[in-house]
Structure 1
Amino acid sequence: MTEMSHLYVALSGHGFGHLAQVAPVLNEFRRRHPEVRLTLQSALPTTVLRSRIAGEFERVEGAADFGMVMVDALATNVTASLAAYRAFHAEWNQRLAWQEQALRAAAPDLLLADVPYLSLAAAARLNIPALALCSLNWADILAGYCPDAPDLAALRAPMLAAYNSAHAFLQPAPSMPMPELRNAYAIGPIAECGQPRRAEIDRRLGLNAGDTLVLIGLGGVGARLPLEAWPELTGVRWLTPPSWSVERPDMMSWAALDDFSMLDLIRSCDALFTKPGYGSFVEAACSSVRVLFIERDDWPEEPWLGRWLLEHGNAVKIDRRQLATGALAEPLRNLLNQPAKPAVTPTGNVDAALWLERLMAR
């Protein structure tokens, strides 16, 4: 590998979970090979990318996928999603030409995709080596939501062909099954962990000794919970997103902690209140942080995420009724009373970095 070596990363902008998978791998890879040039293609804001990815990188604007059309962080618009996939594939040749042009201009030695299939298809046509990395793929997510769509097979065919064209499709634990991928390889969990800064949080927010601090974080897709309907719980303080503008003495915005990373906040709280998602689940388990999570049973990846967290971390699942009414005293008490499980080691960071290393050296 030389200073001329160039890695191109195509990153889905469907929430922050794909960035949570890619960033620890890139950081580990660049720790080993700081000379490698890095280009990122993503619809995520540059500030968000720089908050997780160390070092310099070039930026290519444009989204190579959309994932699913979301109503909010907990609800998927299935009808709109199916229509969007039909429109996307109706313009397949034009979109493929656009992605090929971007890759041809960058001339990378390797493409890493998490997990836009358009980018993988373009790389295959240009004979650029490619590696896919993700706990899900959009072909199986679409099939999970739209099993009876008459054109499902036609929509999935180019998606599966693109995923199978990669040298390997790395599946970090926990991943959903992907039976139609011939190139799937299981690797360990991927996560970055923040710094424990609880004493500083207590000082800044004026928390009392013994207060239970619960961080509310729903990821990168917008939503606002009905906090005004929740009863106060003795000794429980909630840390909320600044945009929610909650005015309650037991609920505080993390705006006063704007110099803390989200990873630091997760590491420093007593519990994380969230929805099922790869990044939040694995980051919490690797930080020994307890998780209270909302059911999201329609999301096809959820069963494997939930089972893994319940086995390897400390977690309790709540239903939508409990969410709406704030009937959280019992599940939170049950969560806090669980015997603490040891932190999970994110071995997938190195696993995936070694795959990049081997393919870049070819």
Structure 2
Amino acid sequence: MHLFVDISSHGFGHLAITAPALDALAEMAPDLRLTVRSGLPGGKLEQRIRAPFTLIAGSSDFGYVMIDAMRIDLAATAAAYRQAHADWPARVAREATFLAALAPDIVLSNVAYLPLAGASRAGIPALSLCSLNWADLFAHFFGHEDWAAPIHADMLAAYRGARTFLRVTPGMPMRDLDNREDIGPIAAIGRRHDLGLKGDRAVLIALGGIAHRLPVDDWPRLPGVRWLVAADWQCAHPAAVSLESFGLTFTDLLCSVDAVVTKPGYGTFTEAACNGTPVLYQRRDDWPEQDCLIGWLQRNATCLEVPADCLLDGALHESLNTLWRRRSPPRPAATGAAEAAARLARLSFAEDSLRELPFPVRLAASVQGRQPKRLSSSPVSHTGRPMMPV
């Protein structure tokens, strides 16, 4: 199976969702050939995706133009979307040409819609995988604008053109997508390590992949608490420790600390819950996805919301003590990666079976909806591999 995967670089959450599914698929399909397109650094991708892959550096989406991890630049985002859709049919045609030349068996997107539109035009089956989609967020922020309707229609058509939108738990409702299919939470599971802090409690500050520095240098010192912060902050606080100094993966570090300070985001929330790490979070301003994430976290993890001013002045002593006094709920099972991998494997199996049928039978299957609605006139490569059990 040759799988082309497009991973959004709007933060690290899209990678956190996609990587476990790819690794699970690699275990099911030893013949997996993986091509990944992303604007994320190659080293970051390699930290998360254990399966071998070929990287195509580049982004097919931008999501939202961010001021920092908490705030969207709505004016710049609106301008970017209007430019991206100024000649949408031509962009889709170029994407279809690119995909036809690459000749993957399946396209998987998290969560750009251009590769889905291109795959549909090229006659390549495609799936999407995420807790959100850009169409719903676009409608939330720009649905009232007189220029927005055609752009929103392009987005929805692309998402609806996928065979299935695998909506991970927790996820936005996505009521406009009748091809959605729910799967369980996706989260990497780490190993707990002794951080060598001589009895001090470790609090990880992790605000995702979009730059947002907290003024930790000015925070008061809390007895018995060490702050784990990014090295590039060059933090001068006497209780601050570079999180990179431990030489651990993010998930192992998250599993090893006593709490994490973060914002609502899929990857950190699900990994904290599934690894049993308490969470202090600051609610984001007007971010539609956060309600489903926060509701799920409150049911599945030890967590507490803190106001923004507490993260500015470091007044976290009371909140941390409250958090650590609470009883931890049972950890949720991270079943979504295996479910997503099985769905991809079944699709590959079905496509191989159809390719081996005589053309009249294959055509009848297409009429019954088991083939893509739009077939390419270009021949589809066939590896001749045996059918894959699932």
TM-score (normalizing by structure 1): 0.94
Residue 216 of structure 1 aligns to which amino acid in structure 2?
A: I
| Aligned with 2:260 (options 249, 259, 272) | 272
1:225 aligns with 2:214: yes
Post-superposition offset of 1:249? 1.7
Report percent identity of matched pairs: 44
| Aligned with 1:117 (options 71, 93, 113) | 113
Aligned residues of 2:143 and 2:149 also touching (Cα < 8 A): no
| Aligned with 2:198 (options 202, 208, 213) | 208
Give me the whole-angstrom Cα distance separating, in 2, the residues matched to 1:58 and 1:100.
Answer: 19
1:71 aligns with 2:67: yes
Give me the whole-angstrom Cα distance separating, in 2, the residues matched to 1:355 and 1:148.
Answer: 36
Alignment partner, residue 311 of structure 1: 299
> Structure 1 residues 96-105 or 188-197, which shifts more?
96-105
Give me the whole-angstrom Cα distance separating, in 2, the residues matched to 1:343 and 1:119.
Answer: 35
1:340 aligns with 2:336: no
1:121-168 deviations in Å (ceiling 9; x for gaps)? 000001100111110000111122223211222111010001011111
Unmatched segments (≥5 aa) in structure 1:
none
Post-superposition offset of 1:250? 1.0
Secondary structure at the aligned position of 2:151 is classed as helix
Alignment partner, residue 151 of structure 1: 147
Alignment partner, residue 185 of structure 1: 181
Give me the whole-angstrom Cα distance separating, in 1, the residues matched to 2:326 and 2:84.
Answer: 47
Secondary structure at the aligned position of 2:11 is classed as coil
Post-superposition offset of 1:30? 0.3
Aligned residues of 1:26 and 1:353 also touching (Cα < 8 A): yes
1:326 aligns with 2:314: yes
Aligned residues: 350
Residue 339 of structure 2 aligns to which amino acid in structure 1?
A: D
Post-superposition offset of 1:255? 3.0
| Aligned with 1:245 (options 231, 234, 243) | 234
Give me the whole-angstrom Cα distance separating, in 2, the residues matched to 1:229 and 1:149.
Answer: 42
1:10 aligns with 2:6: yes
Alignment partner, residue 163 of structure 1: 159
Give me the whole-angstrom Cα distance separating, in 2, the residues matched to 1:41 and 1:99.
Answer: 12
Post-superposition offset of 1:300? 0.9
1:127 aligns with 2:117: no
TM-score (normalizing by structure 2): 0.88
1:72-120 deviations in Å (ceiling 9; x for gaps)? 1111111111111001001323322332232112101111111110000
1:301-344 deviations in Å (ceiling 9; x for gaps)? 01111111011111111111212121211211111111012221
Q: How does 1:10-159 map to 2 (within 5 A)?
A: 10-159=6-155
Alignment partner, residue 284 of structure 1: 272
Secondary structure at the aligned position of 2:155 is classed as helix
Unmatched segments (≥5 aa) in structure 2:
351-390
Alignment partner, residue 195 of structure 1: 191
Residue 209 of structure 2 aligns to which amino acid in structure 1?
A: G
Secondary structure at the aligned position of 2:297 is classed as helix
Give me the whole-angstrom Cα distance separating, in 2, the residues matched to 1:234 and 1:95.
Answer: 57
Aligned residues of 1:238 and 1:250 also touching (Cα < 8 A): yes
Give me the whole-angstrom Cα distance separating, in 2, the residues matched to 1:194 and 1:59.
Answer: 25
Residue 198 of structure 2 aligns to which amino acid in structure 1?
A: N
Aligned-CA RMSD value = 1.1
Aligned residues of 1:145 and 1:300 also touching (Cα < 8 A): no
Residue 239 of structure 1 aligns to which amino acid in structure 2?
A: L
